[in-house]
Each structure stands twice: as C-alpha cells, then as structure tokens.
Structure 1
Amino acid sequence: MYLLYDLILSLSALVLVPYYLLRGVRHGKVRRGIRERLGFYGPERLAGIRGKRVIWVHAVSVGETRAAIPLLKGLRQAYPEAALVLSNVTETGHAIAEGIREIDLCLFFPFDLSWVVRRVFRQVRPAFIVIVETEIWPNFVRVARQQRIPVVLVNGRISDRSFPRYRLARGVVRPILEMFTAFCMQTALDAERIARMGAPEDKIRVTRNLKFDMKGSAPDAAEVQRLKEEFKLAAGTLVWVAGSTHSGEEEIIAEVYRRLLDEGLNLLLILVPRHPERCRAVAEMLAGKGLTSHARSGSQALGRELVPGEVLMGDTLGEMLKFYAVADLVFVGGSLIDVGGHNVLEASLLKKPVVFGPYMHNFKEISRLLLESGGGMAVAGGGELADAVRRLLVNAEARERMGERGNALLSENAGATAETLKVIDSLLGP
C-alpha cells in the first residue's frame, strides 16, 4: 500500500512542484518553500534546535495554526528546555506561525514521500509529534512509528462531510490510525466517529476544543482610536468587518453594503478575503458595483480618512484581530456558501457581535453554542444578512449584549489546553 502511495505521490509531484514554485514566486518564498518540502535545509536553518529535545507541532493552515496557539504556549511553559518546531502546508499558515513567539523554528511540511520524510526526520530529529486537527499523513505517521516517535492528534474533529468518506476508506485509514499514540478529540461525537474509522478506543480522549482557550482582551477606547487612525477610519462612523470571505460571498456583502448606504447608514466596510491573493479580483468586483476599495497595505499613504461608501481591503496577514477590534459588527465568512465556516470565536474574544451564514459544518458545535448563548446570529442569505446588520448597527445596546455573551461563552468552555497537556505529559514525561 505504501509503495503504491509513494508512486502516486511521485507522479503527483510533477504537478505539485510547479504549483508550489508558482505560489512561492507570488509569496517571495520560492526557494526555501520548495526545498523544505523536499527535505533540504541550509545548515543555519536547524542550528537553533540542535542538541535539544524537539517537539514538532504540525498545523496545516491559518485556522489550525491559530487553534494551536494556546497549546503552544502551554508546551513552552511545561517544557521550557525543549525546542518547539511548527510546520505548515500553506504560505498563509506559515506567515501566521512566524509571528508566534513561543516557536523556535517554523518549517514547511514535507511532501509525504517516504524518502522525503526520512530525510527530514534525520535532520529535525523529533522526540514527539503533535498533529493539530485531523491531518492524516500516511508516510509521516508510519516513519514516526518505525522510529518510535509518539504521534498525538489534538483538537481532533471529524466533520459531517468528511466522516462518510473516511468510513468508505476504513480499510485504508484504520492501519494508519492504529499507528497514532493518542487522540485528543473535541467532542464525544468526534471521539465516536474516529473510533468507527478504526482508531483504538483505549487511545481516544475527549479533551474539548482548543479554540475556546484563546487568550486576549478587548482593547480600551484609546487603543481602538489609535487603530482607527492607523486604518484611516473616520471617528463616529460605524464599522462593519466581513472577515475570511470567499468568492460568492463578497458579491452578497457588497450588495448589502450598498443597500445599507442607500438607507442612510453612516457605515464603512472592512472586507478581508480569506486568501489575500484574491484581493485584486475582489477590488475589481467592488469597482464594478461602484464601490472604491483601498488596500490596507497602502492605507498609511492614503493621506485622508475613508468615507462611507468606500471599502478597506484587508490584504495583510496577521491583522484580523486588529480589524475586529475596530468593528461595531463582525460577519465571518465561509458560511454563506458551502465552505463550512471559519472561527467565529475570534470576534467573541474581543466582545464583538458576530453574524454568520448557514454553512457552519466545520464549526458545528461552536456555532450551536454561540447561538444558544445569544453571542451570535445566523442568517440564511443576503436578505437576512441585510436585516441582521441593519438591526444590530442601529442598536448599540444589542451589540454590546451579544458581544458580552459571546465572550462569556469562551470562559465557560475553556480548559482544553490543560486536558490536552495531561495526555501529552503522560506520554512525553517531565
């Protein structure tokens, strides 16, 4: 099976390598990105981890990387002498990872070819591996097992969409799952599902969701004012932030924005596409609807404040919480179309009212709890989105109440980091 898998991946590399080269050129990381994915490192890249016990955490992209931050902080506190290595698949996830202070080294995740994985392990020499959410890489897990390196899946989640596919492939998935050392799952349903996929039941624990352990506090009025000045937002103007949006949603958001402006709302929109490389196409779409957009990366050179009817385009990485901080209302994307949603708790962390669409299957439990607590609002489409945004923007008391309830939900459900660390401590030792 693994020989066939290697063969398929090798053939796929004929497409993947040019793809990563093109993406690397776009993001200015062509040489290092592709070399690291093939297991080649310059001598200076790994110098900082030599002679240390290496704990390798893998988080595929932005969402998983942000979810891992509480655990990374906990690992740094529990194992101050260890070297923490964080790997990512995507450039956007890698950019977020580079800003995490607890990390000693950020790497691109290697292609899952057996010879590449062995080359990487010889150089990185991990003593312990943590995989965030449900990332099942057959050769990576198999080589770790051969070298007696414990591999723990944390913040594990099996979505409604992926579970039937995993069940169909149970004969292939089960031998891989048996090589994991432990599974830390978000909910009892996730635990049941991964057991039905073939994971040994004695290795499964329900440790809850790390996203509830995000740390931070709402900025005071002075900090909000400073950020508004930095973003060129006029004082007294209502700010609607639409974060992590996708194609098909931005058109709906633009139409809603125009409708609210026509109704006389003194409103500015900050639009943050999930993938920054799409900003140019989104700007062209906005222009076609008569809306002028300005890139966040060039806001300092604007020389004036934005006025209602204009759009600030979030084309930078790592500033989502800053955008949310200046918001009067937040919409979280990936939810008006069938993507599965994105993390709504980042808005709740800053006590902001949050609205999202009907497609939240990647955050099913979180969105349910947020609705039940009154900390969020779900809409079915553009018409309901316009009604919800209008209703909340004209009612400051309702916005404050919703933000407070969402923030309280975080405190009530915290504790996943401590539970996950208990499992890791039992395997890794003091």
Structure 2
Amino acid sequence: MKRFIFLLLYNLLLPVFLVISIPGYLIKMKKRGGFGTGLSERFGIYRKPAAEEPKGGLYVHAVSVGEVFIALKFIREWSKTHSEPVILSTSTATGHQVARDAALPNVRPLYSPLDVPGLPGRCLKRFEPKAVVLIEAELWPNFAEACHRRRIPMVMLNARLSPRSEGRYAKVRGITRLLFERLTALGAQNENDKARFARIGVNPDIITAPGSIKFDVLGDAPQNLREDFRAILDQLRGERKVVLAASTHAGEEALIASAIREAGACPLIVPRHAERRAQVVADLEQAGFTPLLRTTGKLPAGLPANACYVADTTGELRDWTALADAVVIGKSFLAEGGQNPVEAIAARKPVITGPDMTNFADLVALLRENDAVVCCEAGELAGEIARALDGSEATAARAERAYQALHVHSGATRRSVELVETLYKA
C-alpha cells in the first residue's frame, strides 16, 4: 500500500515538475544540439522498427559526460567476456555524443525515456535487456517499477553518497527505502559510501563495495598523446610550461588563468560546460586575456602575448591532461564541491585544488594523508602553481604518491563486472 501511494503521488506531481522543468531542458537541448532523435527517443519514439533493434543484452544508463566515461570503461571490461549487445542510455546531448564518438562495437547509444508511466516499459520491451546497470545514483521510480514487473535485475554501480546527500535522504527515509528496494544490488565506491547507503534505508544485504570505476587506473585505456594538440600547445607556450584549468565553472576561468599568468606559465582552460563559451570569453577578456577558442579552428599566425586557449569542446579533457605540465581542478575555488582529479592523477601530473572538494571528500582525504595533493585558497594559487612547475624531486614524488594512492581502487572495474555477472541472465 505504501508503494502504491508513493507512486500515485509521484505520478500526480510529475506533470507539474515536467511543466516547470521542460522549458529549461529544451533550451539546454538546443544549446547542446540534442533536438531531433534525442527528443523523440526521450518520448519513446524510435526511428528503427523494433525488430531491427539489438535485444537480450545489457542496458547501461549514464546521465551525462562524466557518467558516460565510467560506463564506457565498464562496458569495455564487460565486453572482454560477453558478446551480447549493450544499450547505453544517456539523459543529455553531450553525454550521448560521447557515447556515439566512442563507437564501441555492439553498443547502441540511446536517449533514456522520460520517467512517465508507460515510457520506461516501452523502452524495456523494445530492447529486452537481461539486466540493467545504473551508473552512480540515477534511479527513477517508474523505470524501477518497469524493471521489477519484468523481473529484470537492476544494479547500481560506482554509487557514491556524500554526507550532505545522506542528510537529505535521511529526512525522507521512508521514501528512500521504497525507491531503493527495487535494486537487486548496489556497488558502492568505498566502505564509507556503503555505510551511508545503509543508514538511509538501503538493505545492507545488497550493498557491496567493489571500489570506484572512475578511480580504477588499471581499468583505463592508455592516454592519447595527440600530435594535433601538442602542436597547438607548442605554438602557444613558447618557452613556458602549460597549466591546465580542468572542468572550470562560472567565475573560475579568469581567476585561475590570472594565477597561471602570474606564475609565468601558459594557461589552458577546459570549461566543464562548453556551451558557456560566450561567458568564458567575456570573463577572460575582462581579465586582460585574448581568448582563443578551439571551435574556431587553427590558431592565428601572430599570437598575442596575452593569449589564453579555451578548449570549448566535450570529451577531450583526458587528452589535454596528458600534455599539460600541471593541473588545477575546477569547481573547487568558489564553494561548488570540486571536480574529479583522477585523470590528472592517473597521468602523474602535479595536481592543485581549491579549498572546496566536498564532492570528492573521501578521495581528497586519502590524498592528503599521503601528502599527494596541494589544496589552497585562491590567493595562494599563483605561488602553488610556480612550485608545481619547479621540476623538483619533491614535486615529482608528490605526483607519484597520488598515483599510488589510487591503487586502493585497482581492479574496481573488474569487480563491478563480476557483481553484475552474478545477476545476469545468461
């Protein structure tokens, strides 16, 4: 009865939520190029006849770019021992594009259906998956019910729950329990996350801690040292070192670029959201830079001394990271919780973060215990960048300690595959 009332109230309130949120969603879709196929698939309208679609494999859902990269890593490991098709569903145009660009064999990129009664079931009927994998924490009531009715096991992988999120879920523990009851298994990133999920009402018997796929450096493909990227940076840098500002958020580009300039280095900016390019350009110009956008093509013949390169694209951060001399982590200087530092650590680069890395608190705590990362205030950033570029043995040793600290998650991708295999209907 409780579940019936919960679903009834959810579906009564859902139209109100959609009316409020869809205009903003459509604007975002337009900015990110997601109209057409994306919009139709979200409403359960598909171009191919159902008979031509892949059936009987694994359905993996990843919300956006970060989750898609994790999903691709999992799928590559899964495909080593499984030849069945994989459906990779995403919620955003940028995530969908990354899935398409990966071009993995036997993988069908798909826009996930809206969580409206009937649409999740229509999608599952079309692809008939043997199991569903949810990356991190995207769990929708109607989709979960549709899986339950069809007896499709549903596994959440790479699941993370911050202390802040635990507090929010704890306030609605009854609803949380009803929602997570539909999971067959939950693979948490670490023992702390495992304990937090149990405290908010998830059945402890279904929770394991295989580790973080994101932090599993052994599961990563080798970084791509792209010669076209190297040529761009060689033209920009002159005799200077290159410092990457990774996954920056609003207000950070000018702040970090100015600190890089003060340290005598060449700034390379990769915004978290490429569609913010106009605001990024305006902020950098106000700070005295001449922004050069990757999307405009080749660099001009005569580069100004105040040039600042902005890689306003999606899915290339890893390749830029491989060529940088040091990395500053975005979203960490203006109380936003931080972005993932793992790609920089895996590349053995000196890593600097701002004071707020609460989104990755467990990882940063591990790094700080090993003196493997530098966390500083904005006013200290220029000095820390200069020290990171000093070429000293101490700097190299810190980067190596960070890399070694990640090995607590070594094999997490394989362990996650094995967890799904225990439930997969072969």
Q: CA offsets per residue over residues 110-136 of structure 1, 9 Å max, x none? A: 211122212222222222100111222
Matching of residues 26-425 of structure 1 within 5 Å? 26-43=31-48, 47-49=52-54, 52-80=55-83, 82-102=84-104, 104-214=107-217, 215-217=220-222, 223=225, 227-231=229-233, 232-260=235-263, 265=264, 267-300=265-298, 302-304=299-301, 306=303, 308-379=305-376, 381-425=377-421
Structure 1 unaligned blocks of 5 or more: none
Aligned counterparts of 1:308 and 1:241: Cα–Cα separation in 2: 18
Q: CA offsets per residue over residues 362-415 of structure 1, 9 Å max, x none? A: 212222222333432111x21121221122223354443333333333345301
Please point out which of 14, 18, 23 is paired with 2:19.
Answer: 14
The 8 Å contact of residues 217 and 350 in structure 1, kept in 2 or not, is answered as no
Aligned counterparts of 1:216 and 1:402: Cα–Cα separation in 2: 23
Aligned counterparts of 1:97 and 1:338: Cα–Cα separation in 2: 30
Aligned counterparts of 2:237 and 2:226: Cα–Cα separation in 1: 12
Aligned counterparts of 1:12 and 1:39: Cα–Cα separation in 2: 19
Aligned counterparts of 2:338 and 2:319: Cα–Cα separation in 1: 20
Aligned counterparts of 1:258 and 1:347: Cα–Cα separation in 2: 20
Q: Secondary structure at the match of 1:60?
A: coil
Q: Secondary structure at the match of 1:199?
A: coil
* Counterpart code for 2:215: F
The 8 Å contact of residues 234 and 305 in structure 1, kept in 2 or not, is answered as no
Q: Secondary structure at the match of 1:154?
A: strand
Percent of aligned pairs with the same residue? 33
Aligned counterparts of 2:345 and 2:15: Cα–Cα separation in 1: 44
C-alpha distance 226-254 of structure 1, shift in aligned 2 (>3 A)? closer
Q: Secondary structure at the match of 1:233?
A: helix
Aligned counterparts of 1:257 and 1:421: Cα–Cα separation in 2: 41
C-alpha distance 30-72 of structure 1, shift in aligned 2 (>3 A)? same
Q: CA offsets per residue over residues 201-229 of structure 1, 9 Å max, x none? A: 1111111111222414466xxx4765321
* Counterpart code for 1:250: E
Aligned-pair CA distance for 1:271 = 0.9
Deviates more, 1:208-217 or 1:137-146: 208-217
The 8 Å contact of residues 23 and 30 in structure 1, kept in 2 or not, is answered as no
Aligned counterparts of 1:413 and 1:323: Cα–Cα separation in 2: 24
What is the TM-score of this pair, normalised by structure 2? Answer: 0.91
Aligned-pair CA distance for 1:154 = 0.7
The 8 Å contact of residues 161 and 197 in structure 2, kept in 1 or not, is answered as yes
Aligned-pair CA distance for 1:330 = 0.3
* Counterpart code for 1:115: G
- 1:25 matches 2:27: no
Deviates more, 1:185-194 or 1:390-399: 390-399
Aligned counterparts of 2:166 and 2:76: Cα–Cα separation in 1: 31
Structure 2 unaligned blocks of 5 or more: 1-5
Aligned counterparts of 1:218 and 1:39: Cα–Cα separation in 2: 37
Aligned counterparts of 1:351 and 1:188: Cα–Cα separation in 2: 26
C-alpha distance 106-218 of structure 1, shift in aligned 2 (>3 A)? closer
The 8 Å contact of residues 213 and 409 in structure 2, kept in 1 or not, is answered as no
Aligned counterparts of 1:292 and 1:183: Cα–Cα separation in 2: 48
Aligned counterparts of 1:208 and 1:184: Cα–Cα separation in 2: 8
Question: RMSD of aligned C-alpha atoms?
Answer: 2.2
C-alpha distance 217-403 of structure 1, shift in aligned 2 (>3 A)? farther
In the comparison of the two structures, how many residue pairs are matched?
A: 417
Aligned counterparts of 1:304 and 1:404: Cα–Cα separation in 2: 38
* Counterpart code for 1:203: I
* Counterpart code for 1:289: A
Aligned counterparts of 2:168 and 2:248: Cα–Cα separation in 1: 26
Aligned-pair CA distance for 1:48 = 4.6
The 8 Å contact of residues 336 and 356 in structure 2, kept in 1 or not, is answered as yes
Aligned counterparts of 1:20 and 1:45: Cα–Cα separation in 2: 27
Aligned counterparts of 2:50 and 2:302: Cα–Cα separation in 1: 43
